Structure 1
Amino acid sequence: MSITLPAWRTSAGLLLGSLLLAGCNTPKPLYQWESYQPQVYQYFNGQSKEEQAIALERDLEKIKAKNGAVPPGYHAQLGLLYSELGRDDQMVQQFNTEKALFPESAAYMDFLLSNAGQGAKR
């Protein structure tokens, strides 16, 4: 049983087309960023801390609703905002959440928590 040249070309063309289409598939992003990056920019640009916290909280709800993954630093940024707004209990919660999700951030989160404790004593 031999394959004729036109049949072989058709099979090869279909295989090549399938491979090309499979290569066009866009990978799913690892994290859902929402407006996190613009909010970090606004943090350094002087936007109201309250507005930034509200925006990050809103985006966090969107991410949770989509069962998405929160990007690294998201909870830390929200914790910093809570710290500046005097919401220390929420700050501690966000820093601990960041540590749990991203263990490599533990040293920095512990540093921020220890400095927050010293700031409260002053």
Structure 2
Amino acid sequence: MNKRVLALSTTLILLSGCATNQGLYDWGHYQETLFIVYHDPALKEEALNNYLEFVETGGTPQHPIAPGLFAEAGTFMLEQGKVGEAIKYYKMEYEAWPESQPMLGMLIKNLEARQ
């Protein structure tokens, strides 16, 4: 019986090692970036630059950038007073996620009117 349990355990461990869970979306280092932005001001600029680089180049057709990440980048830009950059990222979110279009359409329209 012990050999049977050992063989079954070994098989399960080997099979679970082969399985990967990539997830549906590419989140990059979103959680780490948020932590740094809110808790470590000395590293905020570098973390934001890395985040923006990920948003610009990340994702694949199989694992697109997660919903809200473009809009988050836009909000980071808006906080820095870069309205044009913010609009660019909000438009990227608008195009990528149709569900966000009612809210982002109004936001984009208001920001463009302010410029």
**Normalising by structure 1, what TM-score?**
0.60
**Aligned pairs (5 A) from 1:12-27:** 21=15, 25-27=19-21
Aligned match for 1:70, one of 60, 65, 72? 65
Question: In 1, distance between residues paired with 2:94 and 2:23?
Answer: 22
Task: Indicate the RMSD between aligned Cα atoms, in angstroms.
Answer: 3.3
Identity across the alignment (%): 25
Deviation at 1:42, TM superposition (A): 4.3
For residue 100 of structure 1, what is the amino acid of its counterpart? E
1:87 to 82, 87, 101: 82
User: Hey, what's the Cα distance between the residues in 1 that align with 2:20 and 2:44?
Assistant: 36
Structure 2 Cα separation of the partners of residues 115 and 40 of structure 1: 26
Could you tell me which runs of 5 or more consecutive residues in structure 2 were left unpaired when the two chains were aligned: 1-10
Q: 1:21 to 1:62 in 2, by over 3 A?
A: same
- Residue number among 95, 104, 113 corresponding to 1:109 in the alignment: 104
Unaligned runs of 5+ in 1: 1-16
TM-score w.r.t. the length of structure 2 is: 0.63
Residue 36 of structure 1 corresponds to: 30
Inter-CA distance 77–52: structure 2 relative to 1 (3 Å threshold): farther
Q: Which has the larger radius of gyration?
A: 1
Of 32, 52, 59, the residue aligned with 2:54 is 59
Tell whether the 8 Å contact from 1:53 to 1:82 is kept in structure 2 after alignment: no
Alpha-carbon displacement from aligned partner over 1:12-35 (angstroms, at most 9, x marks no partner):
xxxxx7xx938x622332222121
Q: State the shift of 1:94 in Å.
A: 0.6
